[in-house]
Every structure is written in structure tokens, then in C-alpha cells.
Chains A and B, each alone.
Chain A
Amino acid sequence: MTAPITATSMALDGGVLSTGDAAPEAAFVPSRGFWGHVGHRLVRDPVAMGAGAVILLVVLIAILSPWITPMDPYKGSMLRRLKHVGDATYWLGSDELGRDMISRLMLGSRLSLFIGVTPVLIAFVIGSGIGILAGYVGGWTNTILMRTIDVFFAFPSVLLAIALSGALGAGIFNSIVSLTCVFVPQIARVAESVTTGIRRRDYIDAAKLSGASPLTIMRVQVLGNVVGPIFVYATSLISVSMILASGLSFLGLGVRPPEPEWGLMLNTLRTAIYANPVVAALPGVCIFVVSIAFNMFSDGLRAAMEIRQ
């Protein structure tokens, strides 16, 4: 509820008038530009940097995992099932089919990140498009687009995601489609409110008077000024998306076995919570750590963009 307001105020306070905040004593220092300032402030935020480092590490593991896993993540042994954490061979234990946990967790980061981040990326593109169009054109276009969006807001996001993937059937592609449908309306609403906030600005009028076509204005003046706030909002959705995507797999609606994915691993290990609770909880720790890292990084990014005099 509050997100659209913050995003708008960010565009109005920070994004647009970034050149106005040069203090008199800094007059001779060349301006860093808006994104330069944001980057500068972000680097000085230890929490955001820590979170960023965690994300970077997980991304690296995800990219490199096929080559660096200590054991074969698919090969199990019923004789060596549910080994405890700290085992000499299986450092983080083994799962209910005797497969090495650390290898599966490493390889699992690939699918977990992929199904968590992709929907937000696609929704960022589609949602921004819809929102900017509705906000800039206004009138009936706005009414029709935004009232349609309102219908999707009538569904709690978890319900919508599960309903869509339940109807479409299990699978990675379907779960990405349903999560995208969940995030498009949310991003579109923010994009619309940010765009509506800037469309009466003087520089838009100036561009119109200089003879720029509506498409050029949308691309240059509008897009350039609204993309930042929308992007920050989108990053705040990644954490939710990760939890939901793994949740779909947890329900059996996303990734199918034997592929390793954190949510699915959590589901198959549920039977082991009495025999080996620590191992059973491990995939959830991964989801939690990545989700909290994305949340903290997004918070840091938002704070860094709120540049006030």
C-alpha cells in the first residue's frame, strides 16, 4: 500500500532534480550525476554491501556449481541416507535418498535463483510498459488499464500464484508464468503512479514544445526519470518471488524431481524431520538467507536513492 507513495516521492525528491543538491562548497567538484550519488551512498552502507556480497556469492555458486560440487548431486546410496551434518564424506549430511546435501544445495541455487528472479525481471519489463503507458497517456487508456489491474489486486498474491500454477499444471515454465502474472500488476501500479507524478513537469512540456514526438518523450524524458524508482520497487519483490517460487516447488507445482531446488528439497526432506531435523531444515536456510539478502540490498538501494538536501 505504501510502496507507490514512496516510489513517487522518490522520483519527485531525488530522481528528477538530482542536480539541484550541489552544496555551495562543493561547487568546484564535478557532479557525480544521480546514479553516481546513489552508488556512492550505497557503497558506504555496510548492511547493503554485506547483503550484496551474499547475493554475489550465491550467484557465483549458481554459475559455477556444475564444476565445483564436491560430489555428484544426483547419485544416491540408500545405505548412506540421512547422514548428519559434519560427516567426513558428506559435509552437510545426505538427503533421504543418500545424495550429498552440499552438492545439491549448490546446484539447487541455480533453479531457485532462476525461478525466483526471472518472474520479477519479466514483470519489470511488462509492468513498467503498462504503467508508463497508462500514466503518460492518461484518460481512458489509463482507466481501462488500471481498472483491469485492480482486478488482479483483488487476489492475495500467494493465492493468485497458486491458483494460476494449479490451473496451468506443474512445471518450471508454468510457475514462472504464474509468478510473472502476480508481479505485473504490482509493478504496473507503481510505474503508473510514478509516471503520473512527473507527466506535468516542466521538462516534459519543454520537450513537447521542442517538437519531440510522444514516443521520444516517453523513451527519453519519461523512461529516464521513472525507471529508477520502478527498478528499486522491483528489487524489493525478488525476495517475495524467491519465497513464492520455492513455495510452489514445495507444493509440488514447480520444479520436478530429481532436479535439485531448495523448495522441492524442503518438501522431500519433510519426511526426515524426526530422523535428521538439521539436514531437513538446510534448504530453508538457503531460501531464507538469499531472501533476506535481497530484502536488505533493496532497502539499502531505496535509502541510497532518497537524496534530500
Chain B
Amino acid sequence: MLIYILKRLVYVTPVAFGVSLVCFLLVHLAPGDALSAVLPADATQETINEMKAAYGFDKPLPVQYLIWLWHVLHGDLGTSIATGRPVLGEVTRAVINSLILASVATVIGFTFGTLFGFVAGYHRNSVADRAASALSVFGVSVPHYWLGMILVIVFSATLGWLPPTGAGPDGSGNWRPDFDHLRYLILPAVTMSVIPTGIIARTVRALVADILAQDFVEALRAKGMDEFGVFKHVVRNAAPTALAIMGLQLGYLLGGSILVETVFAWPGTGFLLNAAIFQRDLPLLQGSILVLAMFFVVLNLLVDVMQTALDPRIERA
């Protein structure tokens, strides 16, 4: 197992470097340069050169990349051009908020997804199965930013039950686990959970139907095992794949929450990215994307290792 993990690590390293390269180059895709947003229009050439030297923009690209990478490896993501604060601190705060939202959404999605998936897989072509299929198509087809608006219209604007935007009553950027803050979490979390619900339901349905059709299930029933015993076997067989999908969905939600976070003004990475894009704060943009992508790479690795550990049928070579 240890050798397997080491092998995966060796495989992941070039991908991680590739990701850092993409994030680095992203800034250089931008029209104009990173400083034009903060410099006054009538800045003298001298000021411009001074600023360029201060931010290291006067060196050749490969050198800039290596310097940047060196800093990143030492935990320094640079300073935000708009606020002048270190990018790492801003990103960390936002990632924690996004992680709270994405985790809750994933748990909701996993709970309902497996529930619908199991019911549909056990009763194929029944009404429940059709409902589950419809739900999964709905989950992947609905524009979640629009769904968020609809939920705000229904539960905030019309019924007045839940707050429409923000993360807490005090307007602060920090979410705390108490009742008041929980009310702010419900609508965005439910909105985001729709995609994983659909995808997990679809996967679990196929898994369960597949497992139930296998000979060993018939053998278990033939030797007189009750339905609950058979059910436990089905769960054990479906778990590794279902958990792997759940892990990946967490990563997708964390990286893909920008639209939903914008609708709900949730102070997470999506909100931060939005600010970075429209203030043309390129170091902040670069830093947030790097952190999110690296998180996704690590999550993928963990999911892989976990799946291999849980499922003895997967070769560990």
C-alpha cells in the first residue's frame, strides 16, 4: 500500500507542476499588464519601471516563473494589488468559507443521491426509478445560479423564511456554527447540492442494479440470507465507487461554487475570484486558482488512495 501511495505521489508531481505553470501563465494571458489597473493613467515611465521592478515584472518569463514558484513553495502567494494584503491570508479565509458550503452541499447530495440511487436500483423501471432518473437529469441540466435565484424568490422574497444573501446576521465574512449562521447556509447549500445529488443518484442506481444482477447475490439468497444481509453486501460493494464520486464532487463544488456564491454573496473563493477578476487583481486571481486547483489535485489523490484501500479488487501494483 505504501508503495502504491508513493507511486501515486510520483505521478502527481508533474501534474502539480503543470498546474502551477498554467496558473502562472494565466496572468500573462491577460491583456495589458498586471500593474495597469493600479497605476494612474499619467504615471511616468520612471514610476512604471519602478513598480515593475518592485513586483519582478522586469525579468524574463522563465525567471519570473522560477522566482514565483520558489515563493509559492515557501507559502508566499504574493500580495494583492488591490488591497495590499498577502494573498495567502485572503485565500485561506475564503477557502474555509467555501469548504463549509461545499461540504454541507456534498453531504446533502450524498445522502439524497444514495437514497434515490438505492431505491431506483432495487426497483428498476418502477415509479421511484423514473423519479430518480428524472431527478438526476434535472440535477445536471439545471443552471444552478438560476436555481439559487428561484430559491431566493420563493424562500426569501415571497415567504420571508430565510435570508437571501450573506454568511451571517452581522454581515461579517466569517461563518460560525450556530443557529443564526445556519439559516444563511441553507439556501446556498441546497442550491449547490442539486448537482451531486443527480450524479450520485445516477451512479449508485447503476452500481446497485449491476451488483444485484451478479451471481454472488443469487448465491447469498440461495443459501437463505435475509434481504437485510444481502443489502449489507450490496452496500459494501457499492461503497468504494460511491465514496470516490462523492470526494470528486466535493472538489468540483469547491472549484465551481463561484456562480452560486455570487448569487448568495457568500464570502468564499467564488466571491474572491469575482472580486479579483473585476478589480483585475491578477496576483489574487492567480493565487486563488492555484490553491483551488492544488486542493483538487490532492483530493483526487486522496480519493484514489481511499478507493484502493477500500476495494481489495483494485490492483495496487
Contacts and interface: CB of A to CB of B under 8 A. Distances in A.
Interface of A: 1-2, 147-148, 150-152, 154-159, 162-164, 166-169, 239-240, 243, 246-247, 250-253, 263, 266, 270, 273-274, 277, 280-281, 283-285, 287-288, 291-292, 295-296, 299
Contacts of B255: 155-156, 158-159
B157 A273 contact: yes
A284 B144 CA distance: 10
A225 B273 CA distance: 43
Contact of A246 (B14, B143, B251): B143
A291 B26 contact: no
Contacts of B138: 292
B26 A163 contact: yes
Contacts of A296: 137
Contact of A288 (B142, B157, B293): B142
B293 A287 contact: no
30 contacts: A1-B248, A147-B14, A147-B18, A150-B18, A151-B15, A154-B15, A156-B254, A157-B252, A158-B252, A159-B289, A162-B273, A162-B277, A163-B273, A163-B289, A167-B26, A167-B27, A168-B31, A169-B30, A239-B140, A243-B144, A250-B259, A251-B277, A273-B149, A273-B157, A281-B146, A281-B150, A288-B146, A292-B141, A292-B142, A299-B137
B152 A273 contact: yes
B251 to A, nearest CB: 6
B292 A291 contact: no
A135 B158 CA distance: 55
Given A164-B29, A274-B157, A277-B157, 15 more contacts: A151-B19, A154-B19, A155-B19, A158-B252, A158-B259, A159-B292, A162-B273, A240-B140, A243-B144, A251-B262, A252-B278, A273-B149, A273-B153, A291-B143, A295-B140
Interface string B143-187: 111110110110001100000000000000000000000000000
B256 interface: yes
Contacts of A240: 140
Contacts of B300: 154
Contacts of A152: 22
A155 B293 contact: yes
A211 to B, nearest CB: 40
A288 B143 contact: yes
B29 A167 contact: yes
